[in-house]
Structure 1
Amino acid sequence: MAKRAGRRSAADPIETCPCGSGVPYADCCGPVHQGASTAATAEALMRSRYSAFAVGDADYLLRSWHSSTRPVRLRLDPGQRWTRLEILGTDRGGLFDTTGTVRFRAHYRQAGRPGSLDEQSRFVREDGRWVYLDALPD
């Protein structure tokens, strides 16, 4: 039986990456989560953060959060299964930028019901690497 999208083992190299790249997790967001590489763009960081929610990696989420807005701790909802990410648009956030925004829609299932989260996230470079700053109000 095929494994379902959503919470996955961060150590499973066979799974396709939850970020939607079509690449195995071990060749995509896995190395970023493990600290072996960094996200090159704001969109890449957004994708890695979505994947971290999908595999349940709260430590990576905290490490990739700006120091001025990072919560002390983060508790992920074990009943929420992230199923698909859509990138709706980006503004800046490239290799030579210091700020950027990514608008996305993240799909999930909770208590057997589908849902989605629409957000425009702001990203900045901190100590030379991309981090999540906050969400812009609608």
Structure 2
Amino acid sequence: MVRMSSRRTPRRPHSAVRAASPCPCGLPAEYGACCGRLHEGRAAAANPEALMRSRYAAFAVRDPAYLLRTWHPSTRPPGLELDEGTRWLGLEILGSTEGSAFHSTGTVTFRARWTEGGRPGALHERSRFERLNGAWVYVDGDLLD
């Protein structure tokens, strides 16, 4: 599904998702007006939930460069390889704490569904986020159930 590596990470995502496609994050918006603008660096995530959604979408469109850019330097791997055989099917945000303009940390609990080799799976995690130099970044997470 995801492998950490020391290999150079490609800059351009490989995906059939286009600007006018529905955004993989699940919000009722086109990719280009939603997570696509964050992936391209035209906007920054306003809060941990927005960053979580954009990171999920980056997995869906296979954009490891964005994932690495939005990962806290203290926990970021040197590289990331996304498995071409993994298909992300949906994101469900289950809850969040803190993460407002008045906070420097926040959490998002989510469930992400996927298939790999025809077998379904789900990732249930409580992710931790921190504001670093004014931008939200993913720190780490605890797997649930």
Q: Which residue of 2 aligns with 1:3?
A: none
Looking at structure 2, the residues matched to 52 and 9 of structure 1 have their Cα atoms a distance apart, in angstroms, of 12
Q: Which residue of 1 aligns with 2:20?
A: 14
TM-score, L = length of structure 2: 0.87
Q: What secondary structure, in the 3-state scheme, does the structure 1 residue paired with 2:87 have?
A: strand
Which of residues 53, 63, 66 in structure 2 aligns to 1:60? 66
Gapped regions of structure 2 (runs ≥ 5): 1-13
Which of residues 49, 57, 69 in structure 2 aligns to 1:51? 57
Q: Which residue of 2 aligns with 1:85?
A: 91
| Deviation digits for residues 7-39 of structure 1 (CA, Å, limit 9, x no counterpart) | 7345x1121000000100000000100101000
Looking at structure 2, the residues matched to 86 and 95 of structure 1 have their Cα atoms a distance apart, in angstroms, of 23
Give RMSD over aligned pairs: 1.3
TM-score, L = length of structure 1: 0.91
Looking at structure 2, the residues matched to 137 and 112 of structure 1 have their Cα atoms a distance apart, in angstroms, of 23
Q: How many aligned residue pairs are there?
A: 131
Gapped regions of structure 1 (runs ≥ 5): 1-6
Q: Aligned AA for 1:107?
A: R
C-alpha deviation, 1:137, in angstroms: 5.4
Q: What secondary structure, in the 3-state scheme, does the structure 2 residue paired with 1:100 have?
A: strand
**Which consecutive segments of 4 or more residues in structure 1 shift more than 6 A?**
none
Which of residues 29, 32, 35 in structure 2 aligns to 1:26? 32
Q: What secondary structure, in the 3-state scheme, does the structure 1 residue paired with 2:101 have?
A: coil
Looking at structure 1, the residues matched to 71 and 94 of structure 2 have their Cα atoms a distance apart, in angstroms, of 21
C-alpha deviation, 1:44, in angstroms: 0.3
What is the percent sequence identity of the aligned residues?
53
